[in-house]
């Protein structure tokens, strides 16, 4: 388990709209990407300390590129002690309590399917070419609560592009860690048909808002939040943002996703936040922002309508929920 | 003595909840914490109240340490625990009404109409409310044999409470099945002939 040291580097409080990535930083990152060579995992890259210092250097340079106007950040405690991460237990505080059971070092990610550079990549090689940015996003859970979280990471599109997905790849599927011989505490019962699976349509995955998080509040991602690498798709219900990713697969057909497999009538593949389409059992019109007593109205696409509505043009969102 | 200990039993969860709130706090989502815990203890006390009759019918005496207790004397607990269950259910309902619905009765009606888990939960609450209002000895005399019929509707209320709980679960039914099993056993005991 990663340990946090309270050091001087922290996210800048009082973020402004002007705090966007400088063009030079952005170009630098592009150059990093271009030179990125995909090294297969040999288990000899970067020690723990090397990773730590690399993380700190990148976190220190991270600019805030997205923010949520006029909304307060949730506290680090709220974000890290109230989680849905069934691999570590189904109670909201279970993931925090059982966080130690998730071992994130060493970590590797298998890339499969319709792409030019499949293989098993060490986490260090996955992360190396990417500079980090901070993105403050709303997170809306399907259970009608929400938070505002300062994530640290990089664009999903930048990562996926490195694997050179072919034009036949219409979807990308993700999987969370599951070792049947050494299950995590929550995986000892088959609450879910493990491993946890999620997926996105390729254009959703390549959308500039789709994000790979490696940290929050300027610190490495705590295990209960999906260390070492998790997806963040802010306009979809939280369960789409799969945690502790070990597999990325480019596929032609819509992949199976865990909640959809369990109850297709309640959890669609898209699962876009939509106040007009209720969960069959409860309303999605309003939500409780953690830290607030009363409920507030839920925003279409969780407030990212302007950015993402185009992805679903012409689709009946009541049918493709 | 028995009556006083019944009150203690009914108040114990409240004391426990207040203490754990003070010591551990209410967590990131205090309203959910309050809603869940008041609901949980309402259900537990309903099941405890449901347990009194079969226990008394089957067990003549129990020993509490050196003290033998004639089980018949526990009969007042049935009403007491039932009333306390109602108190927790009332708190549960009020928290929902104030914090989830912001006291907006049009939201309440919409929920009752459209959300089955609310429909059954509200129905159970109405049953418990009418039982609480008619729980006095005076009402019992006044209603005569109708009183027994009316108060047997607690079996229905308990079932609706379980259904209310069931319909809220997304994936993990582990705890639910324990509560449901206790209900099934306690109901079953009512229809199986007593041993003695």
Which stretches of chain A sit within 8 Å of chain B by CB? 74, 77-78, 81-82, 86, 90, 92-93, 143, 145, 189, 191-192, 262, 278, 281-283, 288, 290-291, 293-295
CA B90 centroid distance within chain: 11
Tens of pLDDT, residue by residue over A68-119, are 998 999 999 999 999 999 999 999 999 999 999 999 999 999 999 999 999 9
Per-residue pLDDT band at B63 (split at 50, 70, 90) = confident
Whole-number pLDDT of residue A50: 64
**Alpha-carbon span A59 to A245, nearest angstrom:** 21
Tens of pLDDT, residue by residue over B138-192, are 999 999 999 999 999 999 999 999 999 999 999 999 999 999 999 999 999 998 8
Whole-number pLDDT of residue A23: 45
Q: Which of A95, A282, A284 to mutate to test the interface with B (most CBs of B within 10 A)?
A: A282
Residue B147 CB partners (closer than 8 Å, separation 6+): B134, B139, B140
- The alpha-helical segments, DSSP class H, found in B25-136 are 30-58, 76-95, 105-114, 116-133
Query: Rounded to 5 degrees, what are φ and ψ at A176?
Result: -95, 155
Longest dimension (CA), chain A: 52
Beta strands A145-155 and A286-289: pairing type?
A: parallel
**CB nearest to B174's CB, from A81, A189, A294:** A189
Chain A residues with beta carbon closer than 8 angstroms to that of B170: 143
Per-residue pLDDT band at A18 (split at 50, 70, 90) = very low
**For residue A236, what is the DSSP state?**
B
Tens of pLDDT, residue by residue over A223-271, are 999 999 999 999 999 999 999 999 999 999 999 999 999 999 999 999 9
Contact call for B116 and A281, based on CB within 8 A: yes
Distance from CA of B23 to the nearest CA of A (A): 16
Contact by Cβ (8 Å): B163, B120? yes
The tokens 């009020």 sit on which residue? Answer: B94
Tens of pLDDT, residue by residue over A164-205, are 999 999 999 999 999 999 999 999 999 999 999 999 999 999
Per-residue pLDDT band at A13 (split at 50, 70, 90) = very low
Inform me whether the pLDDT recorded for A45 exceeds 60.
no
**CB nearest to B117's CB, from A143, A281, A294:** A281
Chain B residues with beta carbon closer than 8 angstroms to that of A81: 27-28
Q: Which of A74, A80, A92, A194 to mutate to test the interface with B (most CBs of B within 10 A)?
A: A92
Q: Which of B24, B28, B36, B98 to mutate to test the interface with A (most CBs of A within 10 A)?
A: B28
Instruction: Tell me the sheet residues that pair with A165.
Output: A115
Q: What's the burial of A272, exposed, middle or buried (CB within 10 Å: 0-12/13-18/19+)?
A: buried
**b/e string for A29-56 if b means 16 or more Cβ within 10 A?**
beeebeebebeebeeebbeeeebeeebb
Per-residue pLDDT band at B67 (split at 50, 70, 90) = confident
Assign residue A13 a region (left: φ > 0; alpha: ψ between -120 and 50; beta: otherwise).
Answer: beta
Chain A residues with beta carbon closer than 8 angstroms to that of B164: none
Inform me whether the pLDDT recorded for B71 exceeds 60.
yes
Contact call for A288 and B32, based on CB within 8 A: yes
Q: Long-range contacts of range A52-55, CB-CB < 8 Å, 24 or more positions apart? A: A52/A220, A54/A127, A54/A128, A55/A214, A55/A215, A55/A220
Contact by Cβ (8 Å): A135, A64? yes
Contact call for B27 and A93, based on CB within 8 A: yes
Q: What's the burial of A123, exposed, middle or buried (CB within 10 Å: 0-12/13-18/19+)?
A: buried
Contact call for B28 and A288, based on CB within 8 A: no
Whole-number pLDDT of residue B64: 75
Inform me whether the pLDDT recorded for A276 exceeds 50.
yes
Tens of pLDDT, residue by residue over A286-299, are 999 999 999 999 99
Query: Rounded to 5 degrees, what are φ and ψ at A194?
Result: -65, 150
What average pLDDT does the segment A40-50 reach?
A: 45
Give percent of chain A with pLDDT exceeding 90.
83
Inform me whether the pLDDT recorded for A3 exceeds 80.
no
Contact by Cβ (8 Å): A311, A204? yes
Q: What's the burial of B138, exposed, middle or buried (CB within 10 Å: 0-12/13-18/19+)?
A: exposed
Contact by Cβ (8 Å): A247, A145? no
Whole-number pLDDT of residue B25: 93
- What angle in degrees, to the nearest 10, is found between the helix axes of B154-166 and B145-152? 10
Whole-number pLDDT of residue B195: 61
Distance from CA of B111 to the nearest CA of A (A): 8
Contact call for B172 and A283, based on CB within 8 A: no
Chain A residues with beta carbon closer than 8 angstroms to that of B31: 288, 293
Per-residue pLDDT band at B108 (split at 50, 70, 90) = very high
Beta strands A245-251 and A108-113: pairing type?
A: parallel
**For residue A285, what is the DSSP state?**
S
Contact call for A81 and B168, based on CB within 8 A: no
**Residues across chain A:** 321
Starting at the edge strand found earlier in the chain, the sheet holding A119-122 runs: A119-122, A108-113, A245-251, A171-176, A197-201
Give percent of chain B with pLDDT exceeding 90.
84
Q: Which of B35, B106, B170 to mutate to test the interface with A (most CBs of A within 10 A)?
A: B170
Contact call for A295 and B102, based on CB within 8 A: yes
Interface contact B24, partner A, CB < 8 A:
no
Distance from CA of B190 to the nearest CA of A (A): 33
**Which among A81, A65, A44 has a CA at the least distance from the CA of A132?**
A65
Contact by Cβ (8 Å): A152, A216? yes
Surface of B (139-178) touching A: CB under 8 A: 167-168, 170-172, 174
Quote the ipTM score: 0.87
**What does the CA dihedral B15, B17, B19, B23 come to, rounded to 10 degrees?**
180
Inform me whether the pLDDT recorded for A10 exceeds 60.
no
Chain A residues with beta carbon closer than 8 angstroms to that of B29: 82, 92, 145, 288, 290
**Which among A231, A214, A228, A208 has a CA at the least distance from the CA of A157?**
A208
Query: Rounded to 5 degrees, what are φ and ψ at A318?
Result: -75, -30
Whole-number pLDDT of residue B60: 78
Contact call for B171 and A78, based on CB within 8 A: no
Contact call for B29 and A290, based on CB within 8 A: yes
């Amino acid at each position: 388990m990663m340990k946090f040291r309270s050091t001087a580097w922290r996210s800048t409080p009082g973020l402004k709209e002007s705090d966007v990535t400088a063009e030079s930083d952005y170009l630098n990152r592009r150059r990093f990407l271009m030179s990125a060579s995909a090294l297969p995992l040999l288990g000899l890259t970067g020690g723990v300390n090397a990773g730590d210092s690399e993380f700190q250097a990148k976190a220190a340079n991270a600019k805030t590129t997205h923010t949520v106007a006029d909304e307060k950040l949730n506290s680090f405690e709220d974000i890290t002690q109230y989680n849905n991460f069934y691999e570590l237990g189904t109670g909201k505080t279970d993931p925090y309590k059982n966080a130690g059971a998730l071992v994130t070092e060493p970590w590797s990610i298998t890339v499969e399917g319709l792409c030019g550079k499949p293989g098993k990549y060490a986490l260090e090689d996955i992360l190396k070419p990417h500079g980090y940015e901070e993105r403050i996003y709303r997170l809306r859970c399907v259970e009608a609560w929400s938070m505002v979280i300062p994530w640290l990471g990089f664009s999903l599109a930048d990562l996926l592009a490195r694997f050179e997905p072919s034009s036949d790849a219409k979807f990308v599927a993700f999987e969370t860690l599951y070792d049947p011989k050494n299950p995590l505490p929550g995986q000892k019962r088959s609450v879910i048909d493990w491993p946890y699976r999620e997926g996105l349509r390729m254009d959703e995955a390549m959308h500039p808002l789709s994000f790979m998080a490696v940290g929050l509040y300027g610190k490495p991602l705590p295990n209960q939040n999906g260390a070492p690498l998790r997806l963040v798709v802010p306009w979809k219900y939280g369960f789409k943002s799969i945690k502790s990713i070990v597999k990325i697969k480019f596929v032609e057909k819509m992949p199976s996703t865990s909640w959809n497999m369990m109850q297709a009538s309640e959890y669609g593949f898209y699962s876009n936040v939509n106040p007009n389409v209720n969960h069959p059992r409860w309303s999605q019109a309003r939500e409780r922002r953690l830290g607030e007593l009363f409920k507030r109205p839920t925003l279409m696409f969780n407030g990212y309508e302007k950015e993402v509505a185009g992805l679903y043009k012409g689709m009946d969102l009541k049918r493709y929920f | 003595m028995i009556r006083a200990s019944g009150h203690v039993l009914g108040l114990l969860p409240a004391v426990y909840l207040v203490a754990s709130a003070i010591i551990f706090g209410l967590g990131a989502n205090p309203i959910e914490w309050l809603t869940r815990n008041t609901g949980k203890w309402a259900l537990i006390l309903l099941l405890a109240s449901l347990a009194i009759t079969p226990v008394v019918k089957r067990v003549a005496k129990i020993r509490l340490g050196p003290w033998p207790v004639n089980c018949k004397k526990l009969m007042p607990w049935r009403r007491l625990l039932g009333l306390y269950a109602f108190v927790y259910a009332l708190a549960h309902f009020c928290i929902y009404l104030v914090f989830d619905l912001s006291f907006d009765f049009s939201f309440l009606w919409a929920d009752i109409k459209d959300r089955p888990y609310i429909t059954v939960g509200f129905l159970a609450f109405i049953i418990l409310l009418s039982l609480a209002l008619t729980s006095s000895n005076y009402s019992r005399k006044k209603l005569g044999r109708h009183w027994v019929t009316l108060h047997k509707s607690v079996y229905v209320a308990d079932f609706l409470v379980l259904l209310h709980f069931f319909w809220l679960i997304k994936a993990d039914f582990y705890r639910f099945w324990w509560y449901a099993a206790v209900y099934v056993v306690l109901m079953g005991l009512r229809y199986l002939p007593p041993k003695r």
